[in-house]
Amino acid sequence: MASSINESAIKKLKLLFTVVDRAKAEFYLDVISQYHVNCQLTMPGMGTAASELVELLGLNLQKAVIISVVREDLVDTILNMLEDKFATIKNGKGVAFAVPLSSVIGVNMYQYLSDNRMKRGE
């Protein structure tokens, strides 16, 4: 019985922002979703480097901003995984950071966002 109480305990949530090249957005969405992430939003972004610098360095200014709702207890694990992916994947560089999410309206919404829904029959 104690394990079911711990599993349903309230877990704080954070918003994880991940900025990557648009071509890699789908890859990072899939990787992040493996960590009990039920809600992600992707928006187009644009880098701000000067055009001369872009041409000189061959930079890609087409970015994707991925916003994920993540349980606080998983943030460090996800950030470490992203850091590893940024370092090892060809053209997979990016930036990631998390900020606290202060409130969510509704128990069902919280349970969905925290992947803390009761299984049927429990």
Q: Which of 79, 61, 70, 75 is nearest to 20 (CA)?
A: 61
| Residue 115 confidence (pLDDT) above 70 | yes
Calculate the average pLDDT of the chain.
84
pTM beyond 0.85:
no
Count of CB atoms situated within 10 Å of the CB of 78: 23
Q: What is the per-residue pLDDT across 31-87, written as a single tens digit (0 to 9) for each? A: 999 998 989 999 998 877 677 777 777 766 789 999 999 999 999 999 999 999 999
> What mean pLDDT do residues 101-121 have?
74
Q: How far is CA 47 from the centre of its chain?
A: 19
